[in-house]
Amino acid sequence: MAARDTQTLERPRSGRERILDAAYDLFSRGGVRAIGVDTITAEANVAKMTLYRNFASKSDLALAFLALREERWTVGWVQGEALRRASTPAGQLLAIFEIFSEWFAREDFEGCAFVTSLLEFEDRGDPVRQACVEHLANIRSFVCALATAAGVADPQRLAAQWHILMKGSIVAAHEGDRDAALAAREMGELLLQRHGVPLPA
């Protein structure tokens, strides 16, 4: 009897998965509004009917993309790496800028999809805009939790200030300043000291 091939075969991706993967790459780089359905279906190699069978509208696809972005970028990468790289809350806060510094140096640096998409949709009632606001708030909540663990008296204020540094460094990186995260870290250290948090050794 011939030996069985033990190599695990990958499960073929469904039409929904191919569409969402294509949208993830395209929306991350070009924004939601700028990318059309035809471009997405061509990239995913599916019929337009397949897209609308899985997503009621482009807006629904955008919402799914933003949720996936939070899962992969916010939780899986930024939060996961920050917690892994440092053992104290203050160190984990500063590690965010260490992560950003590496991100800004990459040739495929694409910026923050939440901010990019937020600026594309001016109507405050638009579900895509509302989702961007919510996902950005989730980032601040993570920072706020670290500030609370660090013993900050007003963790929400520090979280708001820290998030401004994060978003500002991303915009500066878009301008071409690849050292923006290092400058943001220096300001972050001053913020921690102002809030009475000892800097990590």
Domain CATH for 176: 1.10.357.10
Q: Which residues contact 55 (CB under 8 A, 6 or more apart)?
A: 16, 19, 61, 64
33, 59, 138, 130: CA torsion to nearest 10? 90
Residue type, 173: A
pLDDT in tens, 94-151: 999 999 999 999 999 999 999 999 999 999 999 999 999 999 999 999 999 999 999 9
In a domain, residue 8? The reply is no
Residue-level pLDDT at 5:
42
Per-residue pLDDT tens for 56-67? 999 999 999 999
CA-to-CA separations, 89 to 77, 96, 125, 144, 188, in angstroms, rounded: 17, 11, 36, 10, 13
Please indicate, yes or no, if residue 125 is contained in any of the structural domains.
yes
pTM above 0.85, yes or no: yes
Q: Tell me: the pLDDT tens digits for 40-85?
A: 999 999 999 999 999 999 999 999 999 999 999 999 999 999 999 9
Please indicate, yes or no, if residue 14 is contained in any of the structural domains: no
In the chain, the number of structural domains is 1
Q: How many residues does the chain have?
A: 201
Give residue 201's pLDDT.
81
pLDDT beyond 80 at 23: yes
**Closest alpha carbon to 83 in 136, 135, 145:** 145
Higher-confidence residue: 22 or 5?
A: 22
Q: Is residue 5 part of a domain?
A: no
Query: What is the residue-averaged pLDDT of the chain?
Result: 94
Residue 69 lies inside a defined structural domain of this protein: yes
Q: Which pLDDT does position 4 carry in this prediction? A: 41
- The alpha carbon of residue 73 and the mean position of all alpha carbons in its chain are separated, in whole angstroms, by 4
Rounded to an integer, what distance in angstroms lies between the CA atom of residue 153 and that of residue 182?
26
172, part of any domain: yes
pLDDT confidence of residue 9? 55
- Kindly state whether residue 6 falls inside one of the protein's structural domains: no
Q: Is residue 187 part of a domain?
A: yes
What confidence category does residue 10 fall into, taking pLDDT thresholds of 50, 70 and 90?
low
Q: Which residues form the domain of 79? A: 58-194
